[in-house]
A = this chain, B = another copy of it.
Amino acid sequence: MNEEDAEEGAVAERIRLAYVLTAANRQDAIAKALDIVFEQTVELPRGTIPASLEERVVGRVEAIDPFPVEGQWKAVLSYDPADVGEDLPQLLNLAYGNISLQVGIRLVDIQLPAAMLGRLPGPGFGIEGLRRLCGAEDHRALLCVAVKPVGLSALELADLCLALAVAGIDIVKDDHGLANQPMAPFAPRVARCQEAVAKANAATGGHCRYFPNVTGPVDLLAERLALARDAGCRGVLVSPLLLGPDTVRWIAEGWDLAILAHPALAGVYFQAQHGIAPDVLLGSVFRMIGSDGVIYPNEGGRFPFARRICEEINRRLRAPLGTLRPAFPVPAGGIDAARVPYWIDQYGVDTLFLVGSSLYGQPDVERAARHLVETVRRHCDERRLESDQV
């Protein structure tokens, strides 16, 4: 089986992992690929294990091809699903555990067998489900704003929720740094913020949703999730790398809460020649574990993401992936409210835009948010009109 047999993002019989390897020449790239398939499975050098184990357990080097960048090679490796079993942490371990400690190995694709993919929850709501939650028609993009900063009281945060919900923002989420600090402890914050949003919805007839941050601690997680759900929240914000990806998978499977995933800590993976490609980590892994929306730093904001990377994340979140639902890309990190129509034209309407600083920089946040909502709705209406006329 060679690389051409499997479409990227498609499903395969074996686990197929693609890496970009830094190597002086093809021979070195092959040697490096062989080292990886031993290191990630038997963790013993060739020749110290029985041939039968080598055949069954050690991964296979399926292809080594030149990569467009000088000194780099694309390697496709495949593994028996039995090397993983059913534990998600072991899948992550197989894909990148020990080799994270080496250099010049960049994971650029993950393809799972249908059965393995089918055991992962994927988005519980997905793009369609989140639209339904927020009463957002298919033709328009969604808007999200974080309530912040840390340091405000629960009542002050609730006032912000009220203003943003009245203005027509679709999802009002906790800033990901809001945990259980004394200034706004989790329980009163969630109660007050959810009340505020419900009050706004009752007044406007809208469907704004408040997603509190529920990123641990693990022994209070069930309690906090129950508290949020019982208060009427339909989703939560989670930072999968702060909490652990498998814990997010567990939330996705059992709580009937939409999950908005934050990329805190993810940046260390995004190295030029090492780590896990942003589209694979945020687009594939975060989606597989159950994120309905994945926040990432958009091009031109406070973080150095290139346009091509953003587009690749968008693609992986929305592309067919077994029976898993598509998830919303959530570009963020300093998006200028005035530029959202531009980004809608770039990324399409199946996008949830997270806008923050550029609203908080205005003298009247509610007014600024309302202006943003109206601008986006008008822009999306015009786009629909144009496409109807075509």
Chain A residues engaging chain B, CB cutoff 8 angstroms: 39-45, 48-49, 53, 56-57, 82-90, 92-94, 96-103, 146, 148-152, 175-177, 179-183, 185, 215-219, 239, 242-247, 249-250, 253-254, 263-271, 274-276, 297, 302-305, 333, 356-357, 360-361
Contact = CB atoms under 8 A, between A and B. Distances in A.
With most chain B CB atoms within 10 A of its CB, the pick from A148, A182, A218, A263 is A218
Contacts of A268: 96, 100, 268-269, 271, 274-276
A177 B244 CA distance: 18
Contacts of A84: 179, 181
B242 A218 contact: no
B246 A93 contact: no
A294 B99 CA distance: 18
A357 B49 CA distance: 11
Nearest to A49: B149
18 contacts: A40-B177, A43-B357, A44-B360, A48-B357, A57-B150, A57-B151, A83-B150, A86-B180, A93-B177, A93-B215, A93-B239, A103-B304, A216-B246, A217-B246, A243-B244, A268-B274, A268-B275, A271-B271
A123 to B, nearest CB: 19
Given A43-B149, A53-B151, A93-B239, A48 B360 contact: yes
B182 A41 contact: no
B150 A266 contact: no
Contact of A217 (B103, B179, B250): B250
A307 to B, nearest CB: 16
A180 B250 contact: no
A360 B45 CA distance: 9
A206 to B, nearest CB: 26
Contacts of A361: 45, 48
A79 to B, nearest CB: 10
Given A92-B242, A101-B266, 11 more contacts: A45-B361, A48-B361, A82-B183, A85-B180, A87-B216, A88-B217, A89-B216, A100-B267, A243-B246, A268-B271, A268-B274
B57 A179 contact: no
Contact of A179 (B87, B98, B267, B303): B87
A302 B356 CA distance: 45
A249 to B, nearest CB: 8
Most chain B CB within a 10 A radius of its CB, from A45, A83, A150, A181: A150
Given A86-B180, A180-B87, A271-B271, A96 B265 contact: yes
B90 A177 contact: yes
A323 B321 CA distance: 49
Given A82-B182, A180-B86, A42 B150 contact: yes
Contacts of A41: 149-151, 177
A49 to B, nearest CB: 6
B246 A246 contact: no
A146 B98 CA distance: 15
Nearest to A262: B97
Contact of A181 (B82, B216, B246): B82
Contacts of A152: 53
